[in-house]
Structure 1
Amino acid sequence: MNEAPGSIADYWNDAAPAFDQEPDHGLRDGTTRLAWQRRLAGWLPGEGLDLLDVGCGTGSLALLLAEAGHRVTGVDLAPAMIDRARAKFAAAGLEGHFLTGDAGRPPTGTARYDAVLCRHLVWTLPDPTAALRAWVSLLRPGGRLLLVEGRWREAGAVVEPYAPGAEALPWAGGVPAATLTAVLRPLVRELDLHPLESEPALWGGPVHDERYAVLARC
């Protein structure tokens, strides 16, 4: 596709001020926040892990992970998202490392991580398969890749581009679990699928589309 990174970043910069108004983005409701705390603790147990949150947005999940005792790095294309993530950590008195850059090719240099987390990002990427390979390559032996994704458009529905340059995204509107797991399986040692559409607390209410997490070990 003819991607326009500036336009994509502009879209998410403009979205940043209202981003946390979505219940599962801002985690302002105690029930929603607790639901994500419990899920993350189950997927990424223990403490003191080096974690990379790609497409971290305003840092809500990163903050939960830091509160659980992990060392967190976040990457997002939109500087306005990164500014809000840094502000959340500062307000909480917690340390976090945040970088502005392409989440599909994180600008993390030679750093390696115990886990890489991605939530509702792959549908925005021009080459999600290449991104999955890049994320797996950033993991230490035995590391985990946690993808929280979904398909929030009807199959076959026309998907309007959300920003200039997003006209031909391969997974626009989300990606079915069967598609994502088929692409990911050859890249990892083992893989578990966790359906999430029946857990309204995670989303701030009932949902009527496909929501799931994939936890892969490398």
Structure 2
Amino acid sequence: MASNRDVNPLTDIDWDAESVTFDDEPDHGLRDPVVREAWAARLRAWLPERPADVLDLGCGTGSLSVLASEQGHRVTGTDLSPRMVQLARAKSAGRDAVFLVGDAAAPPVGEQRFDVLLCRHVLWALPGPERVLRHWRGLLRPGGRLVLVEGVWGTVSPVGMSAVRLTAFLDPLVAGIRVEPLSGDARLWGREVEDERYAVVATF
């Protein structure tokens, strides 16, 4: 019998089916100009000022990838769902972005290396997050950075990963960590939220 550590909640969902309504969430589709600009502003703060190679892991329909490419970055996005990838390709048409079907824990990028790994609401659900983080570190060029947007959602049966737990995983691996609380910025979510939401920017 598999242990809880071997369970991957992301694979229990039919993401191809979820793709039909995925962008209806304000922070997924970024259709509201206020929400879109809030995420664009965060990315400007998290990503390098110069054009960089960005790997967007678990990219969904590619909304953050599009924002990063609009800011001049070269983006590779990966997602388990072929339908999500199809939608991301359509959304990013004409931009400097490539999308691949693949597992965020072991993205299909071969020997390619990146300046930034961007991952939103995915790491908490991957088996063996410490192992995954070590693998991701190997995908970064020297001086690269990891941008993780995570949280703990729900009150009755909360799921996710706290900032304390994530920084404990990262401490032995990185040169510096910055934690940025996100719960208080309703513009990011299209509504007020009370659960723990945050970003971690880690440099190697």
Match of 1:166 in 2: none
2:57 corresponds to 1:50:
no
Match of 2:95 in 1: 94
Write the distance in 2 (CA, Å) between the matches of 1:24 and 1:158.
22
Match of 1:177 in 2: 163
Report the 3-state secondary structure (helix = DSSP H, G, I; strand = E; otherwise coil) of the residue aligned with 2:150.
strand
After TM superposition, list the pairs within 5 Å mapping 1:115-194 onto structure 2.
115-154=116-155, 157-158=156-157, 173-194=159-180
Residue 23 of structure 1, aligned match among 22, 26, 30: 26
Structure number with higher relative contact order (C-alpha < 8 Å, ≥ 6 residues apart): 1
2:66 corresponds to 1:63:
yes
Match of 2:39 in 1: 36
Write the distance in 2 (CA, Å) between the matches of 1:131 and 1:64.
25
Match of 2:77 in 1: 74
Write the distance in 2 (CA, Å) between the matches of 1:146 and 1:193.
10
Q: What's the TM-score, normalizing by structure 1? A: 0.87
Write the distance in 2 (CA, Å) between the matches of 1:209 and 1:94.
34
Write the distance in 1 (CA, Å) between the matches of 2:152 and 2:114.
28
CA RMSD of aligned residues (A): 1.7
2:114 corresponds to 1:113:
yes
Write the distance in 1 (CA, Å) between the matches of 2:90 and 2:131.
31
**CA apart distance, 1:10:** 5.8
**CA apart distance, 1:9:** 7.4
Contact 2:7–2:127 (CA<8 Å) still a contact in 1?
no
Cα deviation 1:136-168 (Å, max 9, x = unaligned): 1111111010000000133xx446xxxxxxxxx
- Structure 2 unpaired stretches of 5+: none
Q: What's the TM-score, normalizing by structure 2? A: 0.93
- Structure 1 unpaired stretches of 5+: 160-172
Cα deviation 1:75-112 (Å, max 9, x = unaligned): 1111111011001011xx21311111110111111010
The AA in structure 2 aligned to 1:69 is G
Match of 2:181 in 1: 195
**CA apart distance, 1:196:** 0.7
